[in-house]
Structure 1
Amino acid sequence: MAIWQSFIGGILPYVSLAVLVVGLATKIILLFQAPVNLHWELFPYPRTLGRQLGELLTEVFTLRSLYNYNRKLWLPSLTMHYGIYLVFFWFVFLLLGAPFALYLGLAGGCLAVIGSGAIFLLRAWTPELRQISTPVEYFNLLLVFLVAFTALTGGVVSDWAFRTYLISLFTLQPRLPLPGSYLIFLLVFQFFLVYLPFTRMAHFAVKYFTYHKVKWGEME
């Protein structure tokens, strides 16, 4: 057990984070260097920085495109995304020691479980969605579900003790041993981090290219 504790709780966090950063950076660099095969200017489109940021934030926080073109998936997708946003804020405020951080984590975990589970079922049971759904999309949804589910059931998002462990990682002195429920969550989450850069789920890192290089890319 000591070996598993050291490997999952003391080594894999740094390895998975390194793979995530290098993987996302590589994807961004390759996309930045790649030529645009087809310019797809949409008119009118925002030309000022303020309006462009407004357009991006509107899409991020409302999923307007999904609402307009695939409304069946819009509400569960919005639920899942807001769950992910709340978990991100949970992480930040947990490190800062904010007392309301645990509420953010619990709410975010629940929304992520509900949203990812609902999308999975919709894709599996709705004929028109099942026809356009690939196995990897089901796997991605299942992975998001498992990350959120193990965080909730393992007490990760509702226990201040997890903050102590996170801080110990930043000081390069992982505090071990960890409860078994923590190890299960960490193993699932670390696999998610390693897997993320090589999937469509990394779209959050390439929004710039979607809008500025394709939708708003003017011919030179």
Structure 2
Amino acid sequence: MTTLFYILGYLAVAGFICMAYLKIRSYMASSPLHVRWELYPVPHEGSKTVYGGSFMEEKDWWTKPRHISHWGDIKALLTEVLFLHATFEHNLKLWVRSYPFHVGMYMLMGGTIIVLCAVFAQLFGLNPQGGFMIFVGNIINAVVLVGTLCIIIGGIGLIERRRNDEGLRRYSTPEHYFNLVIFIVFGLLGLAAWAFSPSYFELARTFIYNLITFNFAPQTSVLFSLHLLIGFFLLIWIPMTHMGHVFMKYFTYHDIRWGDEPTSSSDKNKAKILEALKFNVTWSAKHIAGDGTPKSWVDVATTNPTEKKED
């Protein structure tokens, strides 16, 4: 059973990476070219962002090189991810519940990265019982306490909001409630493991160390083992649900809002448009001069719908 437990850990990590990759790849392959809605400001416009300007306001802009402020994109992305800025501005009641939930997840994810770094430091010779490792352990134990509490409180708050808000209740599915409940259980088990173990950090560090070194030693805490099992499940489950926005948000939100690359300077966009123009259209509407016979969008684009046909 101990070996199986570690195998589940490997499968969970590999499964998350593979499924996230496949989901991103599938989306990129099947999504059409975005239709630019002229939504401004765009963060990468640099100084023009202040007043909602665009490079297209410059005379003969297509003859000039573009200057893109990637720092502007990064800053706007981090503001949204770390603080849920849009939710705060447009739905404060939801933000009060959603933000603690997200902060809790960020803290546990960040804590996991720190523990992973500590394990590599141990592999390279750092004393696992030394002062620095003890300091890191104290930080992680505090992070886990606050993080699990945030997930529990935020998750319960989000369930309450979905049940009592008419707008949200109308669009809430059993999956939404299940996702929140499983995260709450994950948080509760993590909190219990923290409370009934001498050091959560030691449990986590030992497990990751064993995972990396293929040392399938038995777990010393049942609560921590259950906490990990729920974590394994979440790694596999998240990419299959709407909570996959943890890695899909850039593609389905930011890229759509900010993707303003001119077609004239993008061979990729040109290829997509040429491919789309070959699609068949069978509409019979007058504004596309349709007569019910199959035609391509090229035919539609090169036909004058007001031109009278010769008898």
Deviating 4+ runs (over 6 angstroms): none
Identify which of 29, 32, 37 aligns with 2:28. Answer: 32
1:192 is the counterpart of 2:234:
yes
Measured after TM superposition, the shift of residue 204 of structure 1 is 2.1
Aligned in 2, Cα 1:170/1:217: closer, same or farther, shift over 3 Å? same
When the two structures are superposed, what TM-score results if normalisation uses the length of structure 1? 0.89
Larger RCO (CA within 8 A; separation ≥ 6): 1
Query: Could you say which structure has the higher helix fraction?
Result: 1
Identify which of 65, 88, 96 aligns with 1:75. Answer: 96
CA distance in structure 1 between the partners assigned to 2:91 and 2:176 by the alignment: 16
Give the aligned partner of residue 202 of structure 1: 244
Structure index of larger Rg: 2
Query: Percent identity over the alignment?
Result: 29
Two-structure CA RMSD over aligned residues (Å): 2.0
Give the aligned partner of residue 63 of structure 2: none
Measured after TM superposition, the shift of residue 135 of structure 1 is 1.5
Q: Which runs of 5+ in 2 are unaligned?
A: 45-68, 119-132, 264-311
Give the aligned partner of residue 56 of structure 1: 77
Measured after TM superposition, the shift of residue 70 of structure 1 is 2.3
Describe the SS at the equivalent of 1:35.
coil
Give the aligned partner of residue 224 of structure 2: 182
Q: Which runs of 5+ in 1 are unaligned?
A: none
Measured after TM superposition, the shift of residue 106 of structure 1 is 1.1
Which whole-Å deviations, capped at 9, do the CAs of 1:103-131 have from their partners, x for residues lacking one? 11111111111111111112113333322
Contact 2:141–2:200 (Cα < 8 Å) also in 1? yes
Aligned in 2, Cα 1:160/1:50: closer, same or farther, shift over 3 Å? same
Measured after TM superposition, the shift of residue 207 of structure 1 is 2.9
Contact 1:41–1:217 (Cα < 8 Å) also in 2? no
Identify which of 35, 40, 43 aligns with 1:43. Answer: 40
When the two structures are superposed, what TM-score results if normalisation uses the length of structure 2? 0.64
User: How many residues in Structure 1 have an aligned counterpart in Structure 2?
Assistant: 216
CA distance in structure 2 between the partners assigned to 1:184 and 1:27 by the alignment: 28
CA distance in structure 2 between the partners assigned to 1:209 and 1:82 by the alignment: 22
Aligned in 2, Cα 1:132/1:69: closer, same or farther, shift over 3 Å? farther
CA distance in structure 1 between the partners assigned to 2:159 and 2:254 by the alignment: 31
